[in-house]
A and B are shown apart, each in its own frame.
Chain A
């Protein structure tokens, strides 16, 4: 029996101490994310969106509070299990794409399958299929530097879903893209959300990117200001 809540944070906090001053990057965030929903997190620069994502993805340890993914408190996971979580359960998409510059689009997409222990030809086949599905079938052997920003983000999206994760964490996926390209990327994310049932959490500070969301979380100074449900 799987619960409807895929991610829950309880009084989650992450403080930094910088020159004697305490910076409350995330400060008491309690949030439930439902399986299959598209959640946008909106907030100005410095609101704590990236920090929250790092905590949810198990890249960073909270100062206080818990992250529960599929009913498991991730603070109880060891390094292996955390890596497994990042590899198979969560797909990351970054503002700066973060493709490996020396690898081709195909190799970039196949990279997470290596850590997942998928046989090489199977990983490559899947990567090719996904690149085709995001419209890059004719760019398989291009390096990131030979692709446009929008194309690079498509590669990153293909890479994020290659291990069939349940969750996609997209940290300002359109931050480095022009409006039109950004819209296409959001459309693609929404499509994945609808067709594959992937839970998408996307951070943005662009209000034009939130209309596809089921709910929108407004963040400021490390706290949730309010949560709005979008009309259907």
Chain B
């Protein structure tokens, strides 16, 4: 029967994922907001840390305490749980859709790929939004408190942006892996019988 090739190009996964994020924006936005919240918290803290390090004299003793990073960690866990939850609901909502795709030739791994592509899109949106929010929050606080001419080296900022991106990717993908796996393993016969 010739070459039996079944594929799902990465570009298609991202395009379909993007379509889904765009057209079901309400649900996607909750996930983006969850990521952004955690990331904003982390960004503000890291930026404050940088400002203190570069602008206040060593002996002033102003530092970020370890427990504050502990709080960030807790907020990440809360974010992840809420993303997992909302993704699981999305899997049930899209049950028929997933069953249909499998009927049209999608493999389990393709469904997984689609959900992970979506999670990467959410992560990037959430990461950027979170970093922006965190940065803005800090600027506002500085203005409000009357601090001026505080500087952070651009290299530090860039490094932080990189860190934030990686963090939001890890957060989002970690939170999505279980729902994505469930989606991939859906039995198409059951999925198509399922009434929404």
> Which A residues lie at the B interface, using CB under 8 A?
54, 57, 59-60, 70, 72, 79-81, 83-84, 86-88, 92, 94, 96, 98-103, 107, 111-112, 114-117, 120, 159, 163
Contact = CB atoms under 8 A, between A and B. Distances in A.
A160 to B, nearest CB: 9
B9 to A, nearest CB: 7
Interface stretch (B106-114, B145-153, B159-167, B170-178): B106-114
B6 A83 contact: yes
A102 B5 contact: no
A114 B9 contact: yes
Given A98-B192, A102-B23, A116 B105 contact: yes
A107 B6 contact: no
Contact of A79 (B97, B103, B107): B107
B99 to A, nearest CB: 8
Given A102-B19, A115-B110, A80 B103 contact: no
Contact of B101 (A81, A96, A111): A111
Contacts of B105: 83-84, 86-88, 112, 115-116, 163
Interface of B: 1, 4-9, 11-12, 16, 19-20, 23-24, 96-97, 99-108, 110, 188-189, 192
A72 B4 CA distance: 14
A86 B6 CA distance: 10
A159 to B, nearest CB: 7
B104 A80 contact: no
6 contacts: A83-B105, A84-B4, A87-B104, A102-B24, A111-B101, A114-B9
A54 B4 contact: no
Contacts of B7: 114-117
Contact of B188 (A59, A107, A115): A59
A115 B4 contact: no
Query: Which interface residue of A54, A59, A70, A88 has the most chain B CB atoms within 10 A?
Result: A59
The interface residues of chain B, by DSSP majority, are classed as helix
Given A83-B106, A84-B105, A87-B6, A100 B100 contact: yes
Contacts of A57: 103
Contacts of A117: 5-7, 9
A86 B104 contact: yes
A4 B113 CA distance: 39
Contacts of A70: 1
Nearest to B106: A115
A114 B8 contact: yes
B189 A116 contact: no
Given A86-B104, A102-B19, 11 more contacts: A57-B103, A81-B4, A86-B102, A98-B96, A98-B97, A103-B19, A115-B7, A115-B106, A116-B6, A117-B7, A163-B105
B189 A92 contact: no
A82 to B, nearest CB: 9
B104 A112 contact: yes
Contacts of B11: 120
Top 3 closest A-B pairs, CB basis? A87-B105, A115-B105, A84-B4
B192 A114 contact: no
Nearest to B5: A117
